[in-house]
Amino acid sequence: MAMFIRVDIDPAVQGDAALCKALVEACPVDIFKSPSEGTIETVESNLDECTLCDLCIQAAPGKVQVVKLYREA
């Protein structure tokens, strides 16, 4: 399955429980998970579900980047 985005999370988010929770709650397709309080990681198998809605970027401005890996036509 072709992955077409990558999500970069600023290391500063780790340890910020409120921000980790906000990210998990923001994404409509569960790309973020918080294995324990104050930690965040991406769910690789859900990355191709990303709708580019930018809700994660609004939840953590400047701390998350959704990088498009496909070529625009």
Which residues make up the interface to ligand SF4 (CB under 6 A)? 7, 26-29, 31, 50-56, 66
- CB closer to ligand SF4 out of 13 and 26: 26
- CB closer to ligand SF4 out of 30 and 37: 30
- CB closer to ligand SF4 out of 17 and 43: 43
Q: Are 33 and 56 in contact (CB under 8 A)?
A: no
C-alpha distances out from residue 55 to 2, 26, 73, Å: 23, 6, 25
CA–CA separation, 67 and 42 (whole Å):
13
What's the min distance (Å) between Cβ of 17 and ligand SF4? Answer: 19
